[in-house]
Amino acid sequence: MTRTLVEVDDLAVWFPVREGVLRRHTGDVRAVDGVSFAVREGETLGLVGESGCGKSTTGLALLGLERATRGHVVFDGTDVTGADKSTLRALRRRMAMIFQDPYASLNPRRTIGDSIAEPLQIHGLHKGKAQRAARVGHLLELVGLSPDYRHRYPHEFSGGQRQRVGIARALATEPRFIVCDEPIASLDVSIQAQILNLLRRLQGELGLTYLFIAHDLSAVQHIADRVAVMYLGRVVEVAASRDLAADPKHPYTRALLSAVPVPDPRRERARRRILLEGDVPSPLHPPSGCNFRTRCPDRFEPCGAVDPALQDVAGHQVACHLHGIVGEHVEAAVE
């Protein structure tokens, strides 16, 4: 069995809210609130959910770019959340991030060659201009761009080309683990497929491990081996991509899948779209019990009192009272 490269245990990232002249602490925005999952070496784990559910904050916390309020992130046997500055610096050479907006992540006043070479300078790799230039040229070729482009500036490229530059920069230090934070969200549909195919090719050639963050479940299914579904700071279901699509166990996952278009016109017309009632609650004041209960079409009494933990259900990990001990008691009572 493939070993675990990244293990996340009860990760929480809360942001304090301070009000008034004295800046008194009045509460916490629970952006991430008790997330647990594992990423196996060489796989792509998709992390999917609505905007504001805490996906990007989770990705930043995995790289040590956001401080954890509690919990642990262990990368290749080293605890990222408890690492000192020197250890974290060494870890970041083996971890990288691809950002959503390729233009915002590149300095418009620097050539793309300088931007790609920056991580090499920070970590003291490929010393000397000639070595760095050769490395930059190789990285540009690796992502499908000409080495001659290294003298150009970000504004001279299309969105898809800029994202390729961002990928080249992420690969500069030869990382093992890359957090892809909605890397295709700002691109045209035709370009999205090209970037997804590029990421898959690079994974095969370089043995990379990805956490692929997106709100588009169809894109995640295209690239991910397994998918973790996130809602209001918590993971509600984890399963293999095919199993999740074929038989979703959590009501929120079913709602997300019902919004994914089906290529067959007949099936598209016949299927039922699940429309969730109400709005996503504020992470400043999340509901008691299950976070999803205020919008869940299947909610019942235990949902407001007990916070469901992830449990194994037919190959899935699901946090829902419809399954497990509580669900069995309810079914027995009905019978």
Residue at which a domain ends, from 127, 144, 174: 174
Domain boundary, last residue among 174, 201, 224? 174
Query: Rounded CA gap, 181 and 207, in Å?
Result: 19
Whether residues 155 and 231 share a domain: the answer is no
Same domain, residue pair 190 and 168: no
Do both 9 and 51 map to the same domain? yes
Residue positions counted in the chain: 335
Where residue 1 falls among pLDDT bands split at 50, 70, 90?
Answer: low
Residue 43 is encoded by which pair of tokens? 């796989």
Per-residue pLDDT, averaged over 55-59, amounts to 96
Cα distance between residue 283 and residue 326, in whole Å: 26
Which pLDDT value is given to residue 182? 94
Q: How far is CA 66 from CA 13, 14, 31, 63, in A?
A: 8, 10, 11, 8
Query: What kind and span of H or E run contains 317?
Result: strand 316-318
Residues 262 and 205 in one domain: yes
pLDDT tens readout for residues 123-159: 888 878 899 999 999 999 999 999 999 999 999 999 9
Is 101 a domain residue? Answer: no
The span from the CA of 100 to the CA of 238, in Å, is 23
The share of the chain scoring above pLDDT 90, in percent, equals 69
Q: Tens digit of pLDDT for each residue in 187-203? A: 888 899 999 999 999 99
Please tell me whether residues 225 and 274 are part of one structural domain.
yes
Whether the per-residue pLDDT at 329 is higher than 50: the answer is: no
Strand 311-313, strand 209-214: pairing:
unpaired
> What is this structure's pTM?
0.90
Q: 183 and 40 in one domain?
A: yes
Question: What is residue 162's predicted lDDT score, i.e. its pLDDT?
Answer: 94
Query: Do residues 190 and 254 share a domain?
Result: yes
Residues 112 and 191 placed together within one structural domain of the fold = no
**How high is the pLDDT of residue 269?**
66
Q: Which CATH number fits the domain that encloses residue 278?
A: 3.40.50.300
Asked if the model's pLDDT at residue 243 lies above 50, the reply is: yes
Q: How far apart are CA 331 and CA 302, in angstroms?
A: 13
Q: What is the mean pLDDT of the chain?
A: 90
Angle between helices 129-142 and 159-170 (to 10 degrees): 130
User: Could you tell me if 290 and 310 lie in one domain?
Assistant: yes
* Same-domain status, 303 and 179: yes
Q: Is residue 315 part of a domain?
A: yes
The reply to whether 201 and 315 lie within a common domain is: yes
Q: What is the mean pLDDT of residues 63-69?
A: 94
Q: Averaged over 292-301, what is the pLDDT?
A: 90
- The last residue of one of the domains, among 152, 174, 196, is 174
Q: Distance between CA atoms of 166 and 106, rounded to whole angstroms?
A: 8
Q: Which residues of 234-251 are buried (b: 16+ CB within 10 A; e: fewer)?
A: bbbbbbebeebbeebbbb
Q: Whole domain around residue 169: which residue ranges?
A: 107-174
- Residue 277 covered by a domain: yes
DSSP code, position 156 = G
Residue 182's CB: how many other CB atoms inside 10 A? 20
- Each as own residue / partner, the long-range contacts of residues 305-311 (CB below 8 Å, 24 or more positions apart, any chain) are 310/36, 310/235, 310/238
Domain count, the chain: 2
Per the domain annotation, does 300 fall within a domain?
yes
